[in-house]
Chain A
């Protein structure tokens, strides 16, 4: 059974990781296309418990790629952005009036 994939809290991909995701998605998508109606594809079960559709490795690769948000070509800059973003959101909450 394939469950909803786990993802990083806020991806900070550098170019290498981006390329890796891209290559992975592409290769898996090609394999999936070559194996139409693949028997290895399991049924995806959502949090609601509904059986929804065949969810294969190519779908997982697409989902991972969707979760990968390139904020910068520099991984360190992305990491700083992610940290700064959360700090700014906490500051916003502190500033909210009653």
Chain B
């Protein structure tokens, strides 16, 4: 049975805030993040007949959102390019955290991670997917995601610590 509009209103309440956080951390801009969440909901609505009720709604939506972010980056043709297995490059480029009110130290720390580490970490921690769901979404083995998330947390911690030392 396809999802109804009533189901989608519940989806908004249950998942939209997390989708926004995920999009924001991937893109680094609140307005673009909201646009991506809207595109994600539209895409999900159009493909709702293919939704497997046995699958996690969050994992389904996060996978759609990830593709929308990749599409956005392809359209903008920014360099380095971000697609597929190369992962997603963050939009934050300014070194000064005060240069943009929408950025914070964590966003800059994330930018220090390689795309595959960053994307795995964001799907698991911010998107709240299980490691297996993230592995399925990224098309990599479970062990790869486990390793990436662990390394990403460690490197973030190292980067944040070094940034706070006088």
Binds A, one of B30-38, B62-70, B72-80, B82-90: B30-38
**Taking A50-B131, A67-B125 as contacts, is the C-beta distance between A89 and B37 under 8 angstroms?**
yes
Q: Are A46 and B130 in contact (CB under 8 A)?
A: yes
> Does chain B have a CB within 8 A of A18?
yes
With contact pairs A29-B161, A30-B161, A62-B153 given, residues A93 and B8 touching in the complex (Cβ less than 8 Å): yes
**With an 8 A cutoff between CB atoms, is B13 at the interface?**
yes
Chain B residues near A90: list those with CB within 8 A: 9, 12
Q: Does A68 contact B (CB under 8 A)?
A: yes
Kindly state the interface size class of chain A when it binds its partner: 35 or more
Q: Does B93 contact A (CB under 8 A)?
A: no
Verify A47–B25 contact, CB threshold 8 A: no
Docked CA distance A48–B131 (Å): 8
Pair A22/B105 contact, Cβ less than 8 Å: yes
Any chain A CB within 8 A of the CB of B157?
yes
Q: Of all chain A residues, which has the CB nearest B131?
A: A46
Docked Cα-Cα span, A71 to B157, in Å, equals 23
Check B104 for interface membership: any CB of A closer than 8 A: yes
Determine which of A67, A70, A96 lies in contact with B8 in the assembled complex, contact meaning CB atoms within 8 Å.
A96
> CA A67 – CA B132 in complex, angstroms?
20
Contacts of B104 in A (CB 8 A): 18, 68, 70
A96 and B42 contact, Cβ closer than 8 Å, known pairs A66-B106, A66-B125: yes
Query: What string of 1s and 0s marks CB contacts (under 8 Å) between A62-98 and chain B?
Result: 1101111111110000000110011011101110100
Chain B 36-52 interface mask (CB, 8 Å, partner A; 1/0):
01100110010000000
A10-B21 in contact (CB<8A) = yes
Complex Cα spacing A80 to B157, Å: 32
> Which chain B positions have C-beta within 8 A of A29?
157, 160-161
**Is the Cβ of A62 less than 8 Å from the Cβ of B157?**
yes
* A-B contact sample (11 more), CB < 8 A, given A32-B157, A85-B16, A89-B41: A18-B104, A29-B157, A48-B132, A65-B160, A66-B106, A69-B21, A69-B24, A72-B101, A86-B17, A93-B8, A93-B12
Residues of B with Cβ closer than 8 Å to A? 5, 8-9, 12-13, 16-17, 20-21, 24-25, 30, 34, 37-38, 41-42, 45, 101-106, 110, 121-122, 125-126, 128, 130-132, 142, 146, 149-150, 153, 156-157, 160-161, 164
